[in-house]
């Protein structure tokens, strides 16, 4: 049974209709609705503004209103906790959001009555040379800065050197992120139920340009080589810092770091076919 609903909102999209639906549903059941101050504060609603720690601690269901980017932010916020996350799509079709606004009230009732499943999503956590850690549910990428040289990166698994890439970027992707930056770089589409991660170069300037698929039990090290330019470290598409030649990034997997609500309305493969416009070869028709 849902006792407290937490909201995470897209910074720009209109979420008033969705919030009103959630607040009305919760009012009829005596449930408080919580949200972050800078998000619910800009909308005329009765959701209670709390800090992110209180939101994470008190909510037993988080509702993400937006798209895949908002879902990723919600998952990072809740990383490591068992709280389920329901994604509500406010824009283009995504991979993570489960429902549209019109389906919100019955979806909340289904969750309240335990008529749903959760899809565990793995994250990757990177530790920088100075001990700082970042967590991503799509990918962590070392990306060249225009005008500052290629990304020259040595990849080692458990300290065993494997390959050196010279590329526009070197991406460490989860199965969730396999349909994002990794896909655009030629990486494989991976089922979200696979516990593993992918290392793939984007626009490699080396003879070996293949992706490396690793087990969730393995540790990968990315060393920025002396011939590299300064690199931006992107965490789920946002700048998380910069690395220079000689710096090192160590990446490990976090199993079941978030739990995404599934109501059985669509499958990953249906969403992938529609979003990526997957079609067969004309020669088989």
123-255 matches 5-116+263-284 in CATH topology: no
State the catalytic residue, choosing from 60, 68, 236, 247: 68
Q: What percent of the chain has pLDDT over 70?
A: 98
Q: Is 168 annotated as a binding residue?
A: yes
Helical axes 104-112 vs 16-27, angle rounded to 10°? 40
> b/e map of 211-243 (b: 16 or more CB within 10 Å)?
bbbbebeeebbbbbeeebbebbbbbbbeebbeb
Give residue 283's pLDDT band: very low, low, confident or very high (50, 70, 90).
low
Spatial contact of 87 and 96, defined as CB atoms under 8 Å apart: yes
Q: DSSP H helical segments within the chain, as ranges?
A: 16-27, 37-40, 52-58, 68-78, 104-112, 181-184, 268-276
Q: What is the mean pLDDT of residues 19-38?
A: 94
- In order, the DSSP letters of 14-38 are --HHHHHHHHHHHHTTT--EEE-HH
Annotated binding residue at 173? no
> CA torsion 98→103→104→106, rounded to 10°?
-110
Residue 138 annotated as lining a ligand binding site = yes
Q: Active site includes 68?
A: yes
Q: How many CA atoms lie within 13 A of 158 on its CB side?
A: 5
Strand-pairing partners, residue 271, are: none
| pLDDT of 280 higher than 70 | no
Determine the pLDDT at residue 264. 87
Domain 5-116+263-284, what fold? Rossmann fold (3.40.50)
Cα–Cα distance for residue pair 104/7, rounded to 1 Å = 13
For the stretch 110-161, pLDDT in tens is: 999 999 999 999 999 999 988 999 999 999 999 999 999 999 999 999 999 9
For residue 274, name the pLDDT band (cuts at 50, 70, 90): confident
Fold of the domain built from segment(s) 123-255: Tumour Suppressor Smad4 (2.60.200)
- Say if residue 41's pLDDT is above 70: yes
Helix-, strand-, coil-residue percentages of the chain, each rounded to 5: 25, 40, 40
Consult the annotation and say whether 180 binds a ligand: yes
Per the annotation, does 182 bind a ligand?
Answer: yes
Average pLDDT over residues 225-240: 97
Cα separation of 202 and 150, whole Å? 11
Q: Other C-beta atoms within 10 Å of 45: how many?
A: 17
Domain locations in the chain?
Answer: 5-116+263-284, 123-255
> Is 73 annotated as contributing to ligand binding?
yes
pLDDT at residue 284 tops 70: no
Q: Of 62, 213, 242, which is closest to residue 142 (Cα–Cα)?
A: 242
Task: Give percent above pLDDT 90 in the chain.
Answer: 82
Q: Whole-model pTM?
A: 0.92
If you average pLDDT over every residue of the chain, what do you get?
A: 93
pLDDT tens by residue, 64-121? 999 999 999 999 999 999 999 999 999 776 789 899 999 999 999 999 999 999 999 9
């Amino acid at each position: 049974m849902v006792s407290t609903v937490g909201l995470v909102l897209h910074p720009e999209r209109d979420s008033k209709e969705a919030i009103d639906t959630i607040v009305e549903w919760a009012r009829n059941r005596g449930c408080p609705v919580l949200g972050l101050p800078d998000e619910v504060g800009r909308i005329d609603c009765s959701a209670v503004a709390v800090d992110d720690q209180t939101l994470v601690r008190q909510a037993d269901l988080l509702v993400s209103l937006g798209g895949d980017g908002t879902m990723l932010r919600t998952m990072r916020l809740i990383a490591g906790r068992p709280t389920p996350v329901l994604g509500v799509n406010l824009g283009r079709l995504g991979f993570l959001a489960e429902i549209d606004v019109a389906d919100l009230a019955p979806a909340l009732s289904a969750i309240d009555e335990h008529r749903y499943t959760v899809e565990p999503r793995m994250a990757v956590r990177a530790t920088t040379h100075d001990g700082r850690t970042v967590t991503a549910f799509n990918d962590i990428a070392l990306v060249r800065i225009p005008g500052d040289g290629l990304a020259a990166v040595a990849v080692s698994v458990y300290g065993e050197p494997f390959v050196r890439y010279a590329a526009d970027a070197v991406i460490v992707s989860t199965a969730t992120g396999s349909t994002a930056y990794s896909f655009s770089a030629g990486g494989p589409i991976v089922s979200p139920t696979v516990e593993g991660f992918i290392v793939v170069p984007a626009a490699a300037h080396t003879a070996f340009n293949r992706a490396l698929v690793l087990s969730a039990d393995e540790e990968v090290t990315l060393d920025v080589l002396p011939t590299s330019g300064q690199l931006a470290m992107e965490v789920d598409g946002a700048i998380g810092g910069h690395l220079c030649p000689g710096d090192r990034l160590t990446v490990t997997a976090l199993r079941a770091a978030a739990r995404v609500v599934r109501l059985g309305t669509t499958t990953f493969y249906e969403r992938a076919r529609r979003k990526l416009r997957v079609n067969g070869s004309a020669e088989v028709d």
